[in-house]
Structure 1
């Protein structure tokens, strides 16, 4: 049976890169939407690359011709181009949904965030969940994928560990199971052929914040020094960043500080281990 044509938006990001490779490995015909072809590291012989701005509907309309399924990982991480979460995580993805509908796309797969519907008071989650609402009301077949954190997000632990000490809020016993991009990409691609409408997903290991901190310190050959801060410090930092920083600047900090006081354990998938990831990153850095 002929494989469907997949349009991938967000291919130059951490997760998007893994999804693109996984799609090709499984024999799909893949078209990528990118902002600048010159910054794409993919081999043009393997991927059809379409240059357009997802924030500008007219520039991407032709990218949907002949497309069966759209996968979007579009969202702001630490970009500094003046755009807001509502500009990108919401409106840019809405532009993709609208173009998909006009062109008769069969299914739309969107990567949001685990428990995002419970954190709509946060800037990044408010935009992502508004997009989820829009997609669900679009009449398109859809799947919402909700990872609870990428291995790349755990880089904050490594950054702290470089100074010889990791700071945690509370007793560090709250747990999470972040997932490697390759493991998440595998499940994102699997959703192309399923009827599932939502997937909560994490990695194979459920770890406490203390364990993650120790992994980070060990990877950098540091003594296991962990300082546990009272929650009022976290609340004070949140007040400060919300008061004195712009939303696009404090958004990642706001999310990190809020998620750090929640158990973020999602259904377990994949095989990659966080300790191995830290060790590999430490060697490169």
Structure 2
């Protein structure tokens, strides 16, 4: 058994649940933070469950008592409960960091997103990378992981393919190497054990967006159409959303549509392949 006591915040989410499983597979003692008692069934692997709301400081007292390492994947992609990115991705993680500093936590790992440090103009990264700046300034031994898109994010391609038509912007030639949550969880634990403070992480295979669309159609056995829309439509959608909706609405779309306009290739890790993931989901 490993002698480190670990806290996972965000353990009911996609990546957080994978990190919890990976830590338990390696023999670590793990406490998890959940928001509601009803979520206990999602974290049955945990040794201890702490119920608290990360945006409410008073509910977090004692969350890091006797903890050596903190893993935080806390963040919102589909905003609910009237909360904003700054409420959760920034201030929520600040609340957790302050608890960690108060109780002398040895190391704190936070998961942002690939190129987040270069896209601070976007609402989501004003919050995520704003927290990263505070984490670095805090004096704690930190790890920042910036992963590429998850396999689960690629389901948008598969869902469009089910309808027989996949829409892309420009030529569909922008490249990315998405990664499976299980593979990323292994990387997170390895990086916590290592010395590198910041890491960009992608999966083993690099694709163009067009190639991912083809993979999705192949997985479904469809001869559907791949439609490449002029890039000005992508830009126009972002502008219209910013003009007529709140950040709660346009934030996720702003992130997704901006990412689609750039290459997003990170150092390769992992063993799972997107083709197999699509075939399984199909």
The alignment's TM-score, normalised by the length of structure 2, stands at 0.97
Alignment-derived partner of residue 220 in structure 2 = 220
Alpha-carbon distance, 1:251 to partner: 1.0
Which deviations, in whole Å up to 9, do the C-alpha atoms of 1:195-234 show, x marking residues without a partner?
2101100000000101100111222222141111111111
Offset from partner CA, 1:107-134 (integer Å, 9 cap, x none): 1000001110111111111110100000
1:130, 1:138 → 2: CA distance? 13
Aligned to 1:166: 166
Q: In structure 2, what is the equivalent of residue 122 of structure 1? A: 122
Any idea what the Cα deviations from partners look like across 1:67-114, whole Å, max 9, x if unmatched?
A: 001000000011422100000110000111111000100010000011
Give the Å deviation of 1:42: 4.2
Shift of 1:57: 1.3
| Map of 1:263 onto structure 2 | 263
Aligned residues of 2:112 and 2:145 also touching (Cα < 8 A): yes
Structure 1 range deviating more: 210-219 or 22-31: 210-219
Moved over 3 A (4+): 42-46
Residue in 1 that maps onto 2:65: 65
Paired with 2:224 and 2:44, the residues of 1 have a C-alpha distance of: 46
- Length-normalised TM-score, structure 1: 0.96
Do the aligned partners of 2:2 and 2:26 also contact (CA within 8 Å) in 1? Answer: no
* SS of alignment partner, residue 262 of structure 2: coil
CA displacement at 1:155 relative to structure 2 = 1.6
- Structure 1 unmatched ranges of 5 or more: none
Q: Distance in 1 between matches of 2:2 and 2:111?
A: 26
The 5 Å alignment of 1:122-201 reads 122-201=122-201
In 2, the alpha carbon distance for the partners of 1:61 and 1:47 equals 19
Q: How far apart are the structure 1 equivalents of 2:189 and 2:47? A: 16
Q: Matches of 1:123 and 1:152 in 2, distance apart? A: 22
Q: Which residue of 2 aligns with 1:33?
A: 33
Partner of 1:110: 110
* 1: CA distance, partners of 2:105 / 2:43: 26
Q: Distance in 2 between matches of 1:62 and 1:163?
A: 49
Change (3 A) 1:237 1:97: same
CA distance in structure 2 between the partners assigned to 1:71 and 1:45 by the alignment: 16
* SS of residue paired to 2:41: coil
Count of residue correspondences: 282
Number of the residue aligned with 1:17? 17
- CA distance in structure 1 between the partners assigned to 2:42 and 2:158 by the alignment: 28
- Matched position secondary structure for 1:149: coil
8 Å CA contact 2:5, 2:30 repeated in 1: yes
Structure-1 residue corresponding to 2:273: 273
2:55 equivalent to 1:88:
no
Find the counterpart in structure 2 of residue 206 from structure 1: 206
1:54 aligns with 2:54: yes
Q: Given the superposition, is the C-alpha separation of residues 136 and 145 from structure 1 closer, same or farther in structure 2, using an over 3 Å criterion?
A: same
What is the DSSP-based 3-state SS (H/G/I as helix, E as strand, rest coil) of the residue aligned with 1:63?
Answer: coil
Provide the C-alpha distance between the structure 2 equivalents of 1:268 and 1:45, rounded to a whole number of angstroms.
29
